[in-house]
Amino acid sequence: MTCPKETGAEKAEVILDRVLGYILSDELKEEDKDRIVRDSVENYDNFINPGWLKYRKSISTNEAFVEWEDHGSCFADLYGEEFIDCLGGFGIYTFGHRNPEILKYVERQLKRQALHSQELLDPLRGYLARVMSAITPGDLQYCFFTNGGAEAVEMALKLARIGTKRRHIISSVGGFHGKSMGAISVGGKAVYRLPYLPLVQQVSHVIYGDIGDLRKTVKKLASVGEETAAVILEPIQGEAGIIIPPEGYLKEVRELCDEYAICLIFDEIQTGMGRTGSSFRCIAEDVTPDIMIYGKAFGGGIMPITGIIARPHLWDEALVENPWLLGSPTFGGNPLACSAALGALSFMIKHDVPRMAREKGEYFMKGLKVLREKYPSVITDVRGTGLMIGVEFPSNAAGYSFAKGMFARRVMTAGTLNNAVTIRFEPAATIDCADLDLVLFRMDEALADTKKEQGL
CA 241 – CA 389 distance, rounded (Å): 9
Model pLDDT, residue 126: 97
Q: Is residue 70 part of a domain?
A: no
Q: Which of 299, 317, 350 is a domain's end point?
A: 350
CA 105 – CA 395 distance, rounded (Å): 45
Residue 2 has pLDDT above 60, yes or no: no
Of 6 and 439, more confident: 439
Tell me the pLDDT tens digit for each residue of 316-371: 888 989 988 999 999 999 999 999 999 999 999 999 999 999 999 999 999 999 99
Is 169 within 8 Å of 186 (Cβ atoms)?
A: yes
Residues 6+ apart with CB under 8 A from 42: none
Produce one character per residue of 298-332: b if its CB has 16 or more CB atoms within 10 Å, e if not: bbbbbbbbbbbbbbeebbbeebeeeeeebeebeeb
Q: Is residue 5 part of a domain?
A: yes
CA 8 – CA 69 distance, rounded (Å): 31
Q: Is residue 413 part of a domain?
A: yes
CA 379 – CA 372 distance, rounded (Å): 5
Q: Which domain holds residue 433?
A: 353-454
Count of domains for the chain: 3
Q: Which of 45-59, 215-229, 442-456 has the lowest mean pLDDT?
A: 45-59
CA 357 – CA 455 distance, rounded (Å): 35
11/24 same-domain check: yes
Model pLDDT, residue 44: 86
15/118 same-domain check: no
270/373 same-domain check: no
Model pLDDT, residue 60: 42
Of 10 and 258, more confident: 258
Question: How large is the average pLDDT for residues 408-418?
Answer: 87
Residues 6+ apart with CB under 8 A from 28: 22, 36, 78
Q: Is residue 436 part of a domain?
A: yes
CA 310 – CA 323 distance, rounded (Å): 15
Residue 386 has pLDDT above 90, yes or no: yes
Q: Is residue 58 part of a domain?
A: no
190/259 same-domain check: yes
Q: Across the strands, what pairs with 159?
A: none
Q: Is the dihedral of CA 221, 271, 446, 359 positive or negative?
A: positive
Q: Is residue 77 part of a domain?
A: no
190/255 same-domain check: yes
Residue 228 has pLDDT above 80, yes or no: yes
Residues 6+ apart with CB under 8 A from 313: 163, 290
Of 73, 70, 89, nearest in space to 270 by CA: 89
Tell me the pLDDT tens digit for each residue of 20-41: 999 999 999 999 999 998 898 8
Question: How large is the average pLDDT for residues 285-313?
Answer: 97
Q: Is residue 57 part of a domain?
A: no
CA 172 – CA 150 distance, rounded (Å): 16
CA 230 – CA 234 distance, rounded (Å): 13
How far are the Cα atoms of 94, 240, 392, 420 from residue 158, in angstroms, in the given order?
A: 29, 24, 36, 33
CA 32 – CA 52 distance, rounded (Å): 23
Residues 6+ apart with CB under 8 A from 343: 101, 102, 103, 104, 105, 106, 300, 302
Model pLDDT, residue 148: 96
Q: In which element (H, E) is residue 67 found?
A: strand 67-71
341/368 same-domain check: no
154/302 same-domain check: yes
Is 342 within 8 Å of 131 (Cβ atoms)?
A: yes
Of 297, 242, 235, 245, nearest in space to 265 by CA: 235
Q: Return the CATH number at 444.
A: 3.90.1150.10
128/18 same-domain check: no
Residues 6+ apart with CB under 8 A from 449: 401, 405
Q: Is residue 336 part of a domain?
A: yes
CA 148 – CA 90 distance, rounded (Å): 14
Q: Which of 350, 381, 397 is a domain's end point?
A: 350
- Considering the chain, what percentage of its residues have pLDDT values greater than 70? 96
319/357 same-domain check: no
Q: Is the dihedral of CA 102, 103, 108, 111 positive or negative?
A: positive
359/395 same-domain check: yes
* pTM of the model as a whole: 0.95
346/357 same-domain check: no
Tell me the pLDDT tens digit for each residue of 48-89: 887 776 665 444 444 468 899 999 999 999 999 999 999 999
Produce one character per residue of 245-272: b if its CB has 16 or more CB atoms within 10 Å, e if not: beeebbebbbebbeeeebbbbbbbbbbb
Model pLDDT, residue 415: 85
**Bond into 312 cis (ω within 30):** no
Tell me the pLDDT tens digit for each residue of 423-438: 999 999 999 999 999 9
Residue 305 has pLDDT above 60, yes or no: yes
Residues 6+ apart with CB under 8 A from 422: 241, 242, 390, 391, 392, 393, 399, 415, 416
200/212 same-domain check: yes
Question: How large is the average pLDDT for residues 92-105?
Answer: 98
Residue 4 has pLDDT above 80, yes or no: no
Single-letter amino acid code for the residue at 290: D
Tell me the pLDDT tens digit for each residue of 415-426: 876 778 999 999
Tell me the pLDDT tens digit for each residue of 167-189: 999 999 999 999 999 999 999 99
Of 356, 310, 454, 444, nearest in space to 396 by CA: 454
Tell me the average pLDDT of the chain: 94
Q: Which of 323, 350, 377 is a domain's end point?
A: 350
